[in-house]
Amino acid sequence: MNCSVSELKELLGQYEHILLTAHVNPDGDAVGALAATGEMLRAWGKQALIVLDDDVDDKFEFLPGIRTVYKPDDVKTDASWLTLILDATGVDRIGKTAELIHGPLVNIDHHISNAHFADAEYIRPDYAATGEVLTDLFTQWGCAITPSMANALYLAIATDCGFFKFSNTTGHTLRMAALLVEAGAQPNVISEHLEAQSLVKLQALSEVLKHIDLYGDGKVAGITFTPDILQYTGEHTGGYIDYARTVKGVDVAFTVKYISAEETRVSLRSKATDVNAIAAVFGGGGHIRAAGCTIKAPLAEAKTMLIKEILKAL
């Protein structure tokens, strides 16, 4: 059921215990949305627990709101707990945290591929980030946005629209960001934290760049994360796809990453082609210009299947 802004506030107000979660492999939008919502709900006097079936990348640790994150096995819930899923399209995207859902389920999201699965939902595919949806909601609800909430929400918005460079950046996105800066968000501090990396990680980039391959007359660029390359980069490979995307003439960029002998993780970005539709072929989703999926096939085979679908879609 799609809720109005006021219905959503009323519903959250009725529950004392709130389990907050977001998608596995949490990105800046997921992490920032969780940190800000956790703080907002605690200010309302709620017990709000953030649970993630994944580790949070160290680069987000400067957000105070994300320092206490539980794993699903550490938490017990019952039917008195409301579960609020942020920035995720379905229960299949939150891993083992799904086992903790016993009471009402609420979803706040901005993905076009949202599965409309919750008892109550507020979905805005016209917004660039869940952080943008929340900034709008908190403002309409009359909640005070503290400097730490503002930082978390600004980070959420900025990371999902490529720091206001992607096509999902609208006047509304910029207005919400401006409002957050006025509430105490520090764009320079956020950029410094997100850009800072160890020398080892920076040097891994040179190794990754050597492995960008072109397909489809140079309209497609892909990076293959074999177990060998993953030794250089570590598990958090999220940022590398943007380098493939910037190659002149490239429309679709992809990464394929070894997970196991039978499983391959895929990320897709584009300038024009609908990559949500490509990800959907393999049971994934996301947005028109940024999507992902997991293919149940070995790395080389998954890559061949993916390239075939990309070339069809161009």
CB of 44 to ligand 5GP, least distance (A): 27
Nearest one of 133, 196, 100, 131 to 5, comparing CA atoms: 133
Residue 100 or 293: which CB sits closer to ligand 5GP?
293
Please identify, using beta-carbon distances, which residue of 16 and 242 lies nearer to Mn ion: 242
Among residues 54, 87, 132, 136, the one that binds Mn ion under rule CB under 5 A: 87
Residue 285 contact partner, candidates Mn ion, ligand 5GP, none, CB within 5 to 8 A by sort of partner: ligand 5GP
- From candidates 29, 53, 121, 136, binder to Mn ion by CB under 5 A: 29
Which of residues 57 and 160 has its CB atom nearest to Mn ion in the complex?
A: 160
Closest to Mn ion by CB, 222 vs 286, is 286
**What phi and psi, each to the nearest 5 degrees, are found at residue 19?**
-95, 125
CB of 238 to ligand 5GP, least distance (A): 6
Size of the site for Mn ion (CB under 5 A): 4
Q: Is 160 in the site for Mn ion (CB under 5 A)?
A: yes
CB of 129 to Mn ion, least distance (A): 5
**Among 40-48, 99-107, 126-134, 283-291, which window interacts with Mn ion (CB under 5 A)?**
126-134
Which chain residues interact with ligand 5GP by CB under 6 A? Answer: 23, 25, 27, 89, 93, 111, 113, 238, 267, 284-287, 290-294
Strand partners, 105: 83
> How far does the chain reach from its first CA to its final CA, in angstroms?
35
Q: Between residues 29 and 121, which has the closer beta carbon with respect to Mn ion?
A: 29
Task: Find the shortest distance in angstroms from Cβ 135 to Mn ion.
Answer: 13
In the complex, the residues that contact Mn ion under the rule CB under 5 A are: 29, 87, 130, 160
